[in-house]
Amino acid sequence: MRMLAVKQMNILRQSWIRSRNYGFQKADHPEGNILTGRALKQKVAERKSLIHHTLFAFDGLSSALRQWNAHAFLVDVDGTIIESVGHRDFERRAAQVQLQNGANWSEQQRGTNAIGTALIEKKPVSVFGRQHYLAVNGFLSCVAAPLFSPEGEFMGVIDISAPRDMMPGMALQLVMMTVEAVQNRILYEDARRKNLLMVEELEHAGRMHGVALISLDADRRIVRANGQAQRLLGRHCLGQPLSRPDLFRLESVYDNTAKQWSFVGSNSKNDRGRALSESLFEFKDIYGSCRSIERAVALGRRAAAVDLPVLLHGESGTGKELLAQSIHSYGSRGPFVAVNCSAIPESLIESELFGYVPHAFTGASKQGSRGKFVAAHQGTLFLDEIGDMPLRAQAALLRVLQEKCVYPVGAVKPIPVDVRIIAATHRNLPAEIEAGRFRSDLYYRLKVISIELPPLRERSDLEVIARMMLIRMEYPETDLSAEVLRALHAYSWPGNLRELHNVLSQAAFLAEGGPICTEHLCIECREESAEALSLQQSDARAIIRAIQLADGNIKKAAQILGIGRTTLYRKMKLYNLQGESADGAVS
């Protein structure tokens, strides 16, 4: 079982051993030489391009650094800090221990610290408070991650440091995202310089969320790969033949300068579906700093350590499947299989879940079907929208959970299954039980561990989420004006995180590299009346407005809201809104 916390503790334990071997005493207060003047200018000049790309990425951290009273540092391979930005109050405190430009923070100079330990381990490292070997550094909380060139050359580390009590749990994730943004910028610049991609294609690829990019030489060996590609192919893929050509769309490019052929590849969102088992979400992909989401993530990590059923509750778009995948990934089980219970017709749901034997019913496949439970054997079955499951299927599901075996439709013998269940719903299941639409015995079977995901309108970290989303979308330098932030906070976000992501994607595209302004936002921002609207009224208004913007097309309206079409139909029925005619327009 992959336990990140245990790995971090092992890294720190080894670092403390090295610190003792360096001859440090915990009460030491080292005063190292600080590079200034010409010596520092020379180091900076040698890494001018790296600093340029890093400062673009640091611009996207300004809000978080301000909120955490923190500083971000770029450190070269020798451990020398060559650039930094952040909060002035912290800068003065940090200077007391020489955490400043020109200072060397290798382990040999400062003992265990995030910068020095990341330099040695070449892995992300977090060091909080008294985890520092030297007591004088105990007021710091620091997270650092290594930087690599497209060819895999180690370039240094990026660190975020803050006062001990100010650093949130998601800071390590943020510094890793910043590193990936810098690495992607370097990859794109390198590709432009070497004529490996047309500028138009490169700019498009650079704005795709989570796109995997590779470059191949004439022998189809990987010569460059960004972080997303290395997650798919492995950290040591550079210099190796492309092992999974099915995951990439390859195009050949002829370099007139070098008179030779090379190849480039990109992995789109559709391509990623074929590699789902290799690219599931992890806890580091869940960002936010409000207490409610940090509680949900902490409970999810604990749930991953056991095989008990988990019930996730939250509105559409709050990240239920993201959390389910993270729990699965953290627990290192087998396959992850997802089923949307609301999208399967009632007559087919049992055959879909439990499978069927050949010719079990009219229209059945001659080969039969193994069903989702068997497909998820020794792995995780994610039952999304469990509250919409018909009562008959609920009874069959309860039997499977009790007996740990399935009876395919038409079969006589059961098939044993070892499946971990994670269920999710937006419905109030106790109310559904009262109404006779959900079985109480199944509810208590599923609700061994219950996790609540807050809607976006109730979260206190919307600005942090928005800026981190822009970093993940490769817009680290895009700024959000004060008017935009007010508009984002004023909006009710019926589509939650999914809608926010869609709104920011469109806004960043329209801004064309400049700051995002209110005219780039496709949301309803008008002032409401003095009388506060109820949640249902706000939801209904947002739906009506989206349908109007989509000229009555339900599919487009759902995309505007950032929710699924099935969810939109359900909400329209709930609020007694008009239905859809055969041609897709509202009647």
Of 179-188, 190-199, 374-383, the one with minimum mean pLDDT is 190-199
The mean pLDDT value for 140-151 works out to: 90
Question: Which of 113-117, 397-401, 494-498 has the highest average model confidence (pLDDT)?
Answer: 113-117
pLDDT 10s digits, 321-357: 999 999 998 876 688 999 988 878 777 788 888 888 8
State mean pLDDT over 376-397. Answer: 91
End-to-end Cα spacing for the chain: 54
pLDDT at 269 over 90: no
More confident of the two residues 220 and 313: 313
Radius of gyration of the chain from its Cα atoms, rounded to whole angstroms:
26
Q: Looking at beta carbons, which pairs linking 360-363 to residues 24 or more positions away fall under 8 Å?
A: 360/408, 360/409, 360/410, 360/411, 361/409, 361/410
Q: Are 65 and 85 in contact (CB under 8 A)?
A: yes
Q: Residue 487 carries which DSSP code?
A: H
Q: How many angstroms separate the CA atoms of 106 and 114, rounded?
A: 9
Whole-Å CA distances, 407 to 307, 346, 369, 415: 22, 18, 12, 6
- The b-or-e profile of 484-514 (16+ CB within 10 A means b, else e) is bbebbeebbbbbbbbbbbbbbbebbeebeee
pLDDT given at position 586:
37
**Greater pLDDT, 141 or 238:** 141
pLDDT of amino acid 192: 57
CA 60: distance to chain centroid? Answer: 16
Q: Would you state the CATH architecture of domain 4-172?
A: 2-Layer Sandwich (3.30)
Q: Would you state the pLDDT for residue 585?
A: 37
Distance CA 153, CA 456 (A): 40
Q: Which residues pair with 234 in a beta bridge?
A: none
Nearest-angstrom CA–CA distance, 386 and 429:
9
pLDDT attached to residue 433? 94
Averaged pLDDT score across all residues of the chain:
81
CA pseudo-torsion sign 300, 304, 306, 309: positive
pLDDT at 16: 94
Helix axes 554-561, 535-549, angle to 10 degrees: 130
Q: Is the pLDDT of residue 272 over 60?
A: no
pLDDT grade, residue 145 (50/70/90)? very high
Q: Where are the beta strands (DSSP E) in 343-396?
A: 379-384
Q: How far apart are CA 412 and CA 139, in angstroms?
A: 66
Angle at CA of residue 448, ends 444 and 454, nearest 5°: 100
HSE-CB of 354 using CA atoms within 13 angstroms: 29
Closest to 154 in 3D by CA, of 133, 130, 179: 179
pLDDT at position 527 is 37
Confidence (pLDDT) at 477: 67
At 367, list the tokens: 């080969």
What mean pLDDT comes out for the span 153-161?
94
Whether 154 and 77 have beta carbons less than 8 Å apart is answered as yes
Residue 365 carries which DSSP code? Answer: -
Single pTM value for the model: 0.49
Place of tokens 């900076």: 44
| Whether the Cβ atoms of residue 26 and residue 133 lie closer than 8 Å to each other | yes
**Which residues have CB under 8 Å from 308's CB, separation 6+?**
448, 449
Burial group, residue 88, by CB count within 10 angstroms (0-12, 13-18, 19+):
exposed
Mean pLDDT of 49-63: 87
CB proximity list for 422: less than 8 A, separation 6 or greater: 309, 310, 311, 312, 324, 327, 328, 380, 381, 382, 383
pLDDT the model gives residue 205: 46
Neighbours of 38 (CB within 10 A): 8
CA–CA gap between residue 112 and residue 125 (Å, rounded): 11
Q: What is the pLDDT of residue 236?
A: 74
- The predicted pLDDT at position 172 comes to 85
The pLDDT assigned to 197 comes to: 44
Asked whether residue 256 carries a pLDDT value surpassing 80, the answer given is no
The two structure tokens encoding residue 279:
């690219």
Q: Quick check: 103 and 32 in contact, CB under 8 A?
A: yes
- Gap between the Cα atoms of 561 and 544, Å rounded: 11
* 87 C-beta neighbours (distance < 10 Å), count: 20
Contact between 182 and 54 (Cβ < 8 Å): yes
Mean pLDDT of 359-376: 77
Question: Degrees (nearest 5) of the Cα angle 299, 303, 305?
Answer: 125
Q: What are the tens digits of pLDDT across the range 189-234?
A: 766 555 444 433 443 444 444 567 777 776 777 877 776 677 677 7
What is the fold of 194-269?
Beta-Lactamase (3.30.450)
- The Cα–Cα gap between 270 and 414 comes to 36
Assess whether pLDDT exceeds 50 at residue 529. no
Contacts of 365 (CB under 8 A, 6+ apart): 358
Average pLDDT of the segment spanning 83-97: 89
Is the separation of the CB atoms in 90 and 175 below 8 Å? Answer: no
291-452 under CATH 3.30.70.120, yes or no: no
Q: What is the pLDDT of residues 407-431, one digit of tens each?
A: 888 777 889 999 999 999 999 999 9
